[in-house]
Amino acid sequence: MNSKIKWVGAFSVSATNLTLTNIQFKNETILIKLNITLKGRNIKIKFSNLYGSLPLKIKEACIFKENSAYSDIFFNGGHEVIIPVKEEIYSDPLEFSVTADENYWVGLYIENFTELSTGNFSFLSYYISEKGNILDELKNKNSDILHKNEYRNHLIPFVTNIEVIDEGSYSSLVIFGDSGIANGWHHHLVKRFQENNIHNTAVLSQEINGNRLLHSCPDQLKGLYGSSGLSRFEKDVLNQTGIKFLLLFPGINDLISSCKTEEISSLNGNDIINALKICSTIAKERQISIIGCTIPPVYGCKYYSAKMESIRTAVNFWIRTSEEFDSVADFDSFLCNPEEPEKLKKDFDKREYFYINDEGIKAMAECIDLKIFNKK
């Protein structure tokens, strides 16, 4: 294929270390659900063994849409691939059409004992077959077999990226953040894009549940929650193909950390602000337009305190007024209770910890000013 062809991301997740899940596969087919956010007629798929202790052997792989299109996935012209430890590889380019805001499935047949080492916690899902290779049944468009296999939620094993060939002025928006944004809300943003004729911009998810901007988690949790936002910024943001926009959602886990809460006592708002300035400066050097996001209310958190609230308020004030960003998504103002601004509106409160309910998640997508995407 022509080396001058430009590839643009249409799906992505940040690769994290999943060895703590203690999940293994052997003689099983993994069926992974993925949401594509940009249309294309040619694709390639990235597989990761970044955190594996042994080479990852994929005996056979495919991509399909339920009861519709199907394609084998090839690696250097063959069905089988062995991915060395701490490496990632792309499939061969495939002639396979995808549509924005549609779900597709990647099927992997794992023959030998394999540990789930690399992937991402996600609001998507996967199925696992009882035993054996079931890809031939999928090739015959027997998608009913999906629902005859064991369902597992919130994990994406081994697949980190799908890219499409640029069909004209394609670009991507990278969402970078932590638990506050890793709630599936970006699917609503993709729908807004489609409804408002923004068809050339992908939405790439580089948020990680439990992640922190300033510090990595202790060793036993670092894998699941990822390295600090600052340390992963280049890999997870700047290295995404076609990046033109960045949505920067910072700091909620720096305030509320299930990993090492005693660090809160030494945290101050300037630490988070300075980290945001670093990210912003690097992005601007790459001519990336930035959407800064305020931190929603965290009242209800087990570790909530007046100091935590004062830091959140100070950081949000700076985000709103600093003119550091090309646009601001004021999640805080949009979601908070005007009479008690430290709390969520009742309509958006999941009544569980400080989590935002489905209506609040939709509201977050409505909060994004789409004008920035028309300035390309």
Q: Is a pLDDT exceeding 50 seen at residue 276?
A: yes
Give residue 239's pLDDT.
95
What does the alpha-carbon distance between residue 164 and residue 162 come to, in Å, rounded to a whole number?
Answer: 7
Q: What is the mean pLDDT of residues 339-359?
A: 82
- Determine the number of helices (DSSP H) and then strands (DSSP E) in the chain: 9, 23
Q: Is a pLDDT exceeding 70 seen at residue 260?
A: no
How many angstroms separate the Cα of 141 from the Cα of each of 29, 135, 144, 150? 16, 10, 9, 19
pLDDT tier, 3 (very low <50, low <70, confident <90, very high otherwise): low
pLDDT tier, 148 (very low <50, low <70, confident <90, very high otherwise): low
Give residue 254's pLDDT.
83
Q: Does domain 169-374 have CATH number 3.40.710.10?
A: no
Q: In this predicted model, what pLDDT tens digit does every residue of 24-60 receive, in sequence order?
A: 999 999 999 899 999 999 999 999 999 999 999 999 9
Q: Is a pLDDT exceeding 90 seen at residue 274?
A: yes
What does the alpha-carbon distance between residue 193 and residue 189 come to, in Å, rounded to a whole number?
Answer: 6
Give residue 1's pLDDT.
56
What does the alpha-carbon distance between residue 308 and residue 256 come to, in Å, rounded to a whole number?
Answer: 8
pLDDT tier, 10 (very low <50, low <70, confident <90, very high otherwise): very high
Q: What is the mean pLDDT of residues 264-293?
A: 90
Give residue 127's pLDDT.
76
> What is the 3-state secondary structure of 192-203?
HHHHCCCCCEEE
Q: Which two tokens stand for residue 332?
A: 């805080």
Three-state DSSP at 148 gives helix
Q: In this predicted model, what pLDDT tens digit does every residue of 108-134 receive, in sequence order?
A: 999 999 999 999 876 666 777 768 898
- Average per-residue pLDDT in the chain? 87
Q: Write out the DSSP string of 12-77.
A: E---EE-GGG--EESSEEEEEEEEE-S-EEEEEEEEE-TT-SS-EEE-EEEEE-TTS-EEE--BTT
Side-chain-side CA neighbours of 309 within 13 Å: the count stands at 13
DSSP letter at 122 equals E
Whether residue 52 contacts residue 86, with contact meaning beta carbons closer than 8 Å, is answered with yes
Whether residue 110 contacts residue 57, with contact meaning beta carbons closer than 8 Å, is answered with yes
Residue 183 CB contacts under 8 Å (≥ 6 apart), including other chains: 123, 355, 356, 361
Q: Is a pLDDT exceeding 50 seen at residue 258?
A: no
H/E stretch holding 331 reads helix 331-335
Q: In this predicted model, what pLDDT tens digit does every residue of 294-344 receive, in sequence order?
A: 999 988 777 788 888 999 999 999 999 999 999 999 999 999 999 999 998
Q: In this predicted model, what pLDDT tens digit does every residue of 94-108 receive, in sequence order?
A: 999 999 988 899 999
Give residue 376's pLDDT.
54
Q: What is the share, in percent, of the chain residues with pLDDT greater than 90?
A: 58
Count the Cβ atoms, other than its own, within 10 Å of residue 194: 13
